Amino acid sequence: MSLSNSSTDLEQMFPRTGRVSLLDSEARLGVVVSGSLSKGLVIKLDSGQSVEELAVGRYIVVHGHQRRFFCMITDVVLDSSNPDIQNAPPDISDPFFEAIYIGTAAYGKIHAQPMLSIDDTESHPKPKPVKTIPGHFMRVMNATVEDVNAVFGEEEGMNFNVGAPLELEETQINLNLKKLVERSVGVFGKSGTGKSFLTRLLIAGIIQRGAAVNLIFDMHNDYGWEATNEGGPRVKGLKQLFNDKVSICTLDPESSLKRNAKVDFEVKLGYDEVEPEDIEALRETMGLTDAMLDAARTVAKRWGERWIERTINANNEDIDEIEQTTPIRSGTFVGLQRRLQRFERWQFLVPQSPGDSVAQIVKLLEGGRSVVLEFGRYGNSLEAYMLVANYLTRRIHSLYIDKVERAMGDASMEPPQLLITIEEAHKFLDPEDRQPDDLRHHRA
């Protein structure tokens, strides 16, 4: 072998394969090394794979002996076979030492959560909930277009395209809107990540495909009329896109007028319509104690529909009478009074409602129109938002249950599928039930 040809011969015998790009959907990522159904899978990356090209939220597929497991990456980890490497890191400025250490003594791992499984032994396999996990050393691949389509289906009928997964821009995520509106759905994310934009897209698809009518509590005026996009330009609202299928009502007509929003009617709630159960959701935001809530139930039973107005305007004689004739202590009653007096700042609350807002909204929903309730300046008050959302949803839910029960046996009388969209829905949960990072989300 001549010296002049030695380099060429070595290249032929030992080609420089280099790192495999993760953008190649056919590339193998690694193998399963441990995991559980509840905590997810641990996958050791192949030596040719770079952790820098991975991203949390990306779809991958684990190929078992009989099933394909559709998974999502939840974490990316650096690990080593010898703990001493962490205490005395090697010098990898020399490419030779880098090639020795990276992928062998020091390597990457990913954590992935199995989401669905597909049984390849079936003639017409369909995605099913995961009830087991793949075995040791099963190969892990990037999700291909075929894998994604096997889970989400093609864009047709009720399948609505909501975007593309990470690093698979040519692949569509198509959600089945009919199934979506039959379940509770959350849109999670930190501020500025596009939760409102995605929610607006989902609602637009639901209205366009006729999957359901929607009652939207528009806390920040993002849905009804035009809104400002994250990038700056204004985008059309649902009313502009689907004029004949969407109605807008408002708690703050002045705000709607300033924004040139085309409002159908104004919502007014009367003190005489509010029940103690409506303020229970305000326990934390208003600092209501159990004793105060018990006092609210007691005075509502004693004073009837005007219990809020009488509590707000109660004088010393009224307080003495309550303390003498009921188990309520004066301090508890005064505390309840001070908190209810905050209602006087909200102009949408009046002593007696001029009309039945619930009946108006239900009539529109039954007619196949989605309803957007704009809060205007009251959207900055979490107390006002929670009171109105709780008040309306309790009554509309009750009316819908009654209508569905009456329609049993006669499908023509059944009301249209109803979806309720609530911003800041986690605020309605008990503190111990909330997400630890208190992410904002929409709940339908």
Provide the greatest CA pair distance for the chain.
113
What residue spans of 38-152 are helical by DSSP H?
84-87, 95-101, 145-152
Among 107, 131, 151, which residue terminates a domain? 151
Among 350, 367, 386, which residue terminates a domain? 350
Q: Is residue 168 part of a domain?
A: no
Instruction: State the Rg of the chain over Cα.
Output: 30
**109 and 226: one domain?**
no
Extended strands (E) in 88-242: 106-119, 128-129, 139-142, 159-161, 174-176, 186-189, 213-218, 227-228, 234-235
If one counts every other C-beta atom within 10 angstroms of the C-beta of residue 67, the result is 23
**What is the Cα–Cα distance from 401 to 397, expressed in whole angstroms?**
6
**142 and 23: one domain?**
yes
Six-digit token string for 306: 């005007």
Instruction: Indicate the burial class of 398 (C-beta count within 10 angstroms; 0-12, 13-18, 19 or more).
Output: exposed
230, 231, 234, 240 alpha-carbon torsion, rounded to 10°: -60
Question: Angle at Cα 153 formed by Cα 149 and Cα 159, nearest 5°?
Answer: 140
Q: Is residue 156 part of a domain?
A: no
**327 and 303: one domain?**
yes
Q: Is residue 157 part of a domain?
A: no
- Which residues does residue 119 pair with via DSSP β-bridges, in sequence order? 67
Q: Is residue 322 part of a domain?
A: yes
DSSP 412: G
If one counts every other C-beta atom within 10 angstroms of the C-beta of residue 365, the result is 22
**CA neighbor of 272 nearest in space, from 407, 391, 413:** 391
Among 328, 350, 372, which residue terminates a domain? 350
**What is the Cα–Cα distance from 347 to 362, expressed in whole angstroms?**
23
Q: Is residue 173 part of a domain?
A: no
Contact 295, 336 (CB under 8 A): yes
- Which residues does residue 11 pair with via DSSP β-bridges, in sequence order? none
Q: Is residue 159 part of a domain?
A: no
Q: Is residue 127 part of a domain?
A: yes
- The pLDDT profile of the chain, 444 residues, written as one tens digit per residue, is 444 455 555 455 444 444 444 444 457 899 999 999 999 999 999 988 888 888 898 899 999 999 999 999 999 999 988 888 877 888 778 787 777 777 778 899 999 999 999 998 888 888 999 999 999 999 999 888 888 888 888 888 898 998 887 667 777 888 999 999 998 888 888 877 788 888 999 999 999 999 999 999 999 888 988 876 655 677 889 999 999 999 999 999 999 888 888 899 999 999 999 999 999 989 988 999 999 999 999 999 999 999 999 999 999 999 999 999 999 999 999 999 999 999 999 999 998 888 889 999 999 999 999 999 999 999 999 999 999 999 999 999 899 888 888 888 777 788 899 999 998 887 776 655 444 433 334 433
**41 and 135: one domain?**
yes
Rounded alpha-carbon distances, angstroms, from residue 276 to 51, 112, 323, 431: 55, 46, 19, 21
- Which residues does residue 117 pair with via DSSP β-bridges, in sequence order? 69, 128
Q: Give the model's pLDDT for residue 26.
A: 55
**278 and 402: one domain?**
no
Containing structural domain, residue 21: 17-151
**261 and 282: one domain?**
no
Q: Give the model's pLDDT for residue 439.
A: 35
Q: Is residue 9 part of a domain?
A: no
**CA neighbor of 214 nearest in space, from 387, 358, 417, 391:** 417
**335 and 378: one domain?**
no
pTM for the predicted model, two decimal places: 0.75
Half-sphere exposure of 111 (CA within 13 A, CB side): 12
**258 and 290: one domain?**
no
**259 and 247: one domain?**
yes
If one counts every other C-beta atom within 10 angstroms of the C-beta of residue 321, the result is 12
The number of domains in the chain is 3
**247 and 375: one domain?**
yes
**58 and 202: one domain?**
no
**What is the Cα–Cα distance from 438 to 255, expressed in whole angstroms?**
29
**297 and 344: one domain?**
yes
Coil, strand or helix: which one is 29? strand
